[in-house]
Amino acid sequence: MDKFKFSQIGQNIKSIIKNENRNKTIPPSEIAAYLKKVKKEDEEAYYNYLKKLPPEILGEVLLELPESLKENAIKHLSAEKLTVAIKELESDDATDLIKDIEEIDENLERKVYENLSEEDKKDIEKLSIYDETQAGAYMQLEVFEAKVDETIDEAIKRLRKLKEEGELENIQQVYVVDDDRHLKAIIPLGDLITFDFKKRFKDIMKEGKYEPITVRATEPIKDVIKKFEDYNLPVLAVVNDNGKLLGRITSDDIIDLIEEQATEQIYNLAGVEDDAEEEDDIKIVTKKRAWWLFINLWTAILASVVIGLFDETIQKYVALAVLMPIVASMGGNAGTQTLTVVVRKLALGEIDWDNAKEALIKETLIALFNGLIFAVVMGAIAWFWFNDHLLGVVIALAMVINLLAAGFFGAVIPLVLKKIGADPAVGSSVVLTTVTDVVGFFAFLGLAKIMLVN
């Protein structure tokens, strides 16, 4: 955030707090980013801002804050302030915030929950039964529905009243249901206003082009993401196993979810925990990163042990010490390419254990072809560099072997982790680095011992 924008947001927030312009629109994410910077410079000012933020935006701002800042913020806010903030949120966000409060302080959560209306309590209870891997955990219960026998005019008048009362926000579609709330059609509001207002919804439904695309509340969230991508949806209706309308999932939640998953995968591939990286405490971040570095240390020692097995060979042929890092580096980079592609495809559901054979063959062949290409290149370089054609042959063969191993294991490791129920991104890079280092050094030095020294 540049300094001008930072200053402008600060002025806008101050005007809202002073009730000078409650209609000014500032995205909660920008307010959260501003408050994060304020806390680093003036902690007291940070908490004062939080306590004075209007309740209609406080809840959304809290949800946008990093976990560590959110925890501190909740601890400094009263139960009454948090209750009002939750009342202003849509049901899915209200449930998320009440869960956050519960994790931080159960007594505070109990006070907040007791102060909510019975309707809000019921909504939270309905959404709390779903696991975070299920679609129902991401739905909001606020939907605009109409009966099949209702006229368009009646529905629009009712929608206008609900909007005026602040009961509904971001409404893009009308969900047409029967008397038992079975979902029969989904009609965009843009289409709705083009029809004769005297018509009933059952008359429009006869055209057959408003068949609902739905997801069951118990379906995995990864299937929901796939439907949003396949159908390019702004919102998706959620039903139970009998087809009764329960709520809706909006694209903003899916975008956040995709971003979180992508961030987590990138961090995990690098041996970094995404939650830890949000911490401002250097000691906590250092500790988390040190754990993976400690594992890497032992893998590096293992590679060094392999090198130690050929210490006499290296002493007799010093050029090997110069070329060794090239073999390991090329294998590591080739393996990382394969690993990244396979992990991403696993996350998107494009491959799984059952159809892994094709992906495994493809990645292995790519690695083999690249191995052959760079074997020729590196073999020629080594030959001219040290004026030894046999040395060129040794490094060429080692390059093929190591890149082939990198491609094969770069695909197999995440597939195996996925099969046993582990996150394929976590630990894959550490294991793969070990494989490429050990195979690379052993192949290169072993071939050198056979072809150059003996």
Q: What pTM value is reported for the model?
A: 0.72
pLDDT at 399 over 90: yes
The percentage of the chain sitting over the pLDDT mark of 90, rounded to a whole number, equals 50
pLDDT given at position 8: 62
pLDDT tens per residue, range 402-450 = 999 999 999 999 899 888 877 777 778 888 888 999 999 999 999 999 9
pLDDT given at position 39: 83
Q: CA distances (Å), 27 to each of 34, 40, 138, 279, 401, in order? A: 11, 21, 21, 23, 53
Mean pLDDT score of the chain: 86
For domain 145-251, the CATH architecture is Roll (3.10)
pLDDT band at 280 (very low <50, low <70, confident <90, very high): low
pLDDT band at 366 (very low <50, low <70, confident <90, very high): very high
Domain range annotation of the chain: 3-129, 145-251, 274-453
- Report the relative pairing of strands 235-239 and 245-250 from DSSP bridges: antiparallel
Residue 391 CB partners (closer than 8 Å, separation 6+): 317, 319, 323, 382, 383, 448, 452
Evaluate whether 3-129 and 145-251 have a shared fold. Answer: no
What are residue 11's phi and psi, to 5 degrees?
Answer: -65, -40
pLDDT given at position 220: 92
pLDDT band at 14 (very low <50, low <70, confident <90, very high): low
Q: Which CATH class is domain 3-129?
A: mainly alpha
Kindly report the number of other CB atoms within 10 A of residue 179's CB atom.
8
pLDDT given at position 170: 83
CA 19, CA 1: separation in Å to the nearest integer?
A: 25
Query: Average pLDDT in the 20-45 region?
Result: 76
pLDDT tens per residue, range 290-329 = 777 787 788 888 888 999 999 888 888 889 999 999 999 9
pLDDT tens per residue, range 115-138 = 999 999 999 999 999 999 999 999
Q: Which CATH class is domain 274-453?
A: mainly alpha
pLDDT band at 10 (very low <50, low <70, confident <90, very high): low
pLDDT at 20 over 80: no
pLDDT at 89 over 70: yes
Residue 413 CB partners (closer than 8 Å, separation 6+): 339, 424, 428, 431, 432, 435
